[in-house]
Structure 1
Amino acid sequence: MVLKKQTVWLLTMLSLIIVLSVYYVTSPTVPGGDEIAFVDEGEEQQESDINIEELLEGDANEVVVNISEEFDEADETDGMISAISTNEAFTTIRMELQASRDRMAEEFTNIRASADASAEEKVEAHERSMELQRLAQKESQLETLIVAKGFSDALVLAEDNKVRVIVQTDELTAAQATEILNLTHTHLGANSEVTVAHQATK
């Protein structure tokens, strides 16, 4: 299916962009062979690369305590910052997601305009195009509602019935996570498998 192929392509490209971005901003200060690791209050180490495919994975209604990254600081002499900011990461993901959806919408438009497509294919293309628009609107509305709760930023990624919500905050309480969970179920459906995580502000 076109939708499945586009989704796999999107996730692959987003993963590549994030990995390359992290490598680019950290390479001047990271000695060869060293690995950067996620650290949760000095206790638990996780992989450092943000894998976009993993953003949509996870147990339903899971609350992730912390996915913030710890990066080495840049040399004081050159004044560069060695960490990509959460806002930049969120913006990059949003732009790539929108670009992918625009391409999918264009494909659906081409199918509807094609003389070779059957009436059934045209109807299906129209329905999928409308579904993409509705999903983007719901994601945007949910992000606005979450930010209104006092968070610096929020990113909502929805695919089928899986939803990943990442908020920009230094600390996420169980009560806040539950509230986000309830908001997500209200706006994206009670059957949605929701994962809530947070990333510390830079």
Structure 2
Amino acid sequence: MNTRRQTIWLVSMLSLMVILSAYYLFTQDITGKDEVSDATHLENSAEVSSMGENSGTVASNTAEDGSEYTINDADQQVLSQLEKEGYFESSGLSEILTKRENRIGDEENRIMSVLADVTNDSDTSLEAIEEMAQLEEKMEKFSQLENSLMETYEVAVISEEVNDKYKVVVTSDTPEKKQAAEILDRVITELDVRPDQVSVEFVANP
């Protein structure tokens, strides 16, 4: 786990260096406050687009602050499957996924705005890089857990709630306490959280 985080951190550092190098190339021959501002905006837009490409995006959406962000392949596939099988109308699973993507989009945009601001000192930029690494690691864990759970259940979605709490929603026509206990144990172990931070909800197949 530490090795993975270090790798993500190093890759993020290299990405930041590329961003800053591109910025100075873009602004080398530009003078005036307005022109520098335009170049900074261009850099920010390019980096957000790059983040989408790295995560393998296939659809776009709008975050709560009005900015554009993209839905990753894994969640887009789940959304398509939910729509195809009728979960949109009955279970509310699509709403959970949409809220999660909104939250991720807002967080990514906030972090990227910090990285794109060349007036920030190195400590602030490094903190933003670490935040991005933690966010990516968390989403990777969500994806792995959901894929693992969907070996048993038709659909599984992990929702991050307020106050660092998590809800796991799975489809099952015959839910049992044993199943809930197994899910809780897996989530607690993988996300390294306390039992009181996790809840499990079963919804019927449509």
CA deviation profile, 1:55-77 (whole Å, cap 9, x unmatched): xxxxxxxxxxxxxxxxxxxxxxx
CA deviation profile, 1:6-40 (whole Å, cap 9, x unmatched): xxx97xxxxxxxxxxxxxxxxxxxxxxxxxxxxxx
2:183 aligns with 180
Q: Which moved more, 1:163-172 or 1:89-98?
A: 89-98
**Aligned letter for 1:102?**
G
CA RMSD of aligned residues (A): 2.4
TM-score normalised by length of structure 2: 0.51
2:89 aligns with 84
Could you say what secondary structure the match of 1:84 adopts? helix
Give me the whole-angstrom Cα distance separating, in 1, the residues matched to 2:94 and 2:199.
20
Higher helix share: 2
Residue 161 of structure 1: how far off its partner (Å):
4.2
Indicate conservation of the 8 Å contact 1:166/1:196, yes or no.
yes
Question: Do residues 97 (structure 1) and 100 (structure 2) align?
Answer: yes
Could you say what secondary structure the match of 2:175 adopts? coil
Query: Quick one: which of 135, 138, 141 aligns to 2:141?
Result: 138
> Mapping of 1:1-202 within 5 angstroms?
84-86=89-91, 89-149=92-152, 151-158=153-160, 161-191=164-194, 193-202=197-206
CA deviation profile, 1:128-167 (whole Å, cap 9, x unmatched): 1111111111111111111112x12111123564221111
Give me the whole-angstrom Cα distance separating, in 1, the residues matched to 2:165 and 2:145.
15
Give me the whole-angstrom Cα distance separating, in 1, the residues matched to 2:106 and 2:165.
22
Could you say what secondary structure the match of 2:135 adopts? helix
**Aligned letter for 1:176?**
Q
Given the superposition, is the C-alpha separation of residues 93 and 140 from structure 1 closer, same or farther in structure 2, using an over 3 Å criterion? same
Identical aligned pairs, as a percentage?
A: 23
**Structure 1: stretches of 5+ with no match in the other structure:** 1-8, 11-80
Indicate conservation of the 8 Å contact 2:97/2:159, yes or no.
no
Indicate conservation of the 8 Å contact 1:168/1:200, yes or no.
yes
Residue 198 of structure 1: how far off its partner (Å):
0.7
**Structure 2: stretches of 5+ with no match in the other structure:** 1-62, 65-85
TM-score normalised by length of structure 1: 0.52
Give me the whole-angstrom Cα distance separating, in 1, the residues matched to 2:125 and 2:168.
33
**What is the number of equivalent residue pairs in this alignment?**
120
**Larger RCO: 1 or 2 (CA < 8 Å, sep 6+):** 1
Give me the whole-angstrom Cα distance separating, in 1, the residues matched to 2:103 and 2:192.
23
**Aligned letter for 1:201?**
N
